[in-house]
């Protein structure tokens, strides 16, 4: 398979993530893809991708058979969905792990499990390790283990759809600092991310319940 650019990795990761976490709002419009690429939670690094870059990445991913257009009846805007399951021949759990690596770069087993669990249930670290091993042992590996970050002994993993993004000396990069203030901020952000996902799920459930009993949607009142 052709290697992906950084923009293609971010766009593909966003499509996979949103398919898992917000199915009611999926497939995504170009504007939704841009917003997903540039959101400040669950992303590393933070980006400022504009519509032109996002569109070019989508069209390139279409050419690589990883994305298709999925225009909906009555919709004025084009919508897009990923075909990564079939194109990469991966299971749902493996795809969630791969998407997390696409969105946040090198991570430990614990980080992958904690973050990818919002997309797909991951009951144990052993299960995550088995999924990573399945991705690493393929004829064309999709993941790879790299050295721990400085000051840590925890093994880390990267995706290989865009291997040029993560050189062999990634462990020596200043971006890989494991100082305590950074860890505290990361832990707080992860809790905020989890709360945001729960609120979105509750809003969706309440909207469906209101419609089912003949009441107006409390989050989208008719003006």
Q: Where residue 202 falls among pLDDT bands split at 50, 70, 90?
A: confident
Q: Is the pLDDT of residue 159 over 80?
A: yes
Residue, of 116 and 223, whose pLDDT is higher: 116
Distances (CA, A) of 214 to 113, 116, 119, 201, 218: 39, 36, 31, 20, 12
What is the average pLDDT across 138-165? Answer: 91
The answer as to CATH 3.30.365.10 being correct for domain 6-182 is no
User: What do you get for the CA distance between the two ends of the chain, in Å?
Assistant: 50
Q: What is the pLDDT of residues 98-129, one digit of tens each?
A: 999 999 999 999 999 999 999 999 999 999 99
DSSP string, 71-124: PPTT-SS-EEEE-HHHHHT--HHHHHHHHHHHHH-SEEHHHHHHHHTTTS----
Q: What is the pLDDT of residues 38-83, one digit of tens each?
A: 999 999 999 999 999 999 999 999 999 999 999 776 677 899 999 9
The pLDDT score that the predictor gives to residue 161 is 96
The pLDDT score that the predictor gives to residue 219 is 65
Report the alpha-carbon distance of residue 212 to residue 206 in Å, rounded.
10
The pLDDT score that the predictor gives to residue 209 is 80
The pLDDT score that the predictor gives to residue 220 is 66
| pTM of the predicted model as reported, rounded to 2 decimal places | 0.74
What is the average pLDDT across 155-169? Answer: 76
Residue, of 198 and 16, whose pLDDT is higher: 16
Of 178, 158, 180, 183, the residue nearest 169 (C-alpha): 158
Cα Dmax for the chain: 59
Residue, of 177 and 33, whose pLDDT is higher: 33
Integer-rounded Cα Rg, in Å, for the chain is: 18
3-class DSSP state for residue 142?
Answer: coil
């Amino acid at each position: 398979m052709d290697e992906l650019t950084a923009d293609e990795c971010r766009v593909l990761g966003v499509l996979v993530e949103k398919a898992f976490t917000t199915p009611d709002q999926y497939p995504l419009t170009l504007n939704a893809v841009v917003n997903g690429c540039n959101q400040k939670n669950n992303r590393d690094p933070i980006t400022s991708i504009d519509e032109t870059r996002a569109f070019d990445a989508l069209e390139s991913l279409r050419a690589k058979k990883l994305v298709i257009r999925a225009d909906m009846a009555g919709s004025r805007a084009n919508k897009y969905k990923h075909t990564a399951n079939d194109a990469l021949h991966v299971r749902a759990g493996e795809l969630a792990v791969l998407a997390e690596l696409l969105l946040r770069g090198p991570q430990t087993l614990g980080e992958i499990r904690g973050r990818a669990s919002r997309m797909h249930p991951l009951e144990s670290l052993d299960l995550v390790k088995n999924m990573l091993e399945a991705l690493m042992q393929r004829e064309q590996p999709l993941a790879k283990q790299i050295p721990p970050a400085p000051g840590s002994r925890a093994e880390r993993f990267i995706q290989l759809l865009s291997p040029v993004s993560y050189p062999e000396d990634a462990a020596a990069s200043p971006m890989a600092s494991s100082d305590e203030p950074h860890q505290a901020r990361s832990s707080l952000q992860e809790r905020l991310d989890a709360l945001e996902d729960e609120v979105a799920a509750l809003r969706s459930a309440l909207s469906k319940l209101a419609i089912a009993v003949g009441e107006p949607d409390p989050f989208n009142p008719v003006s």
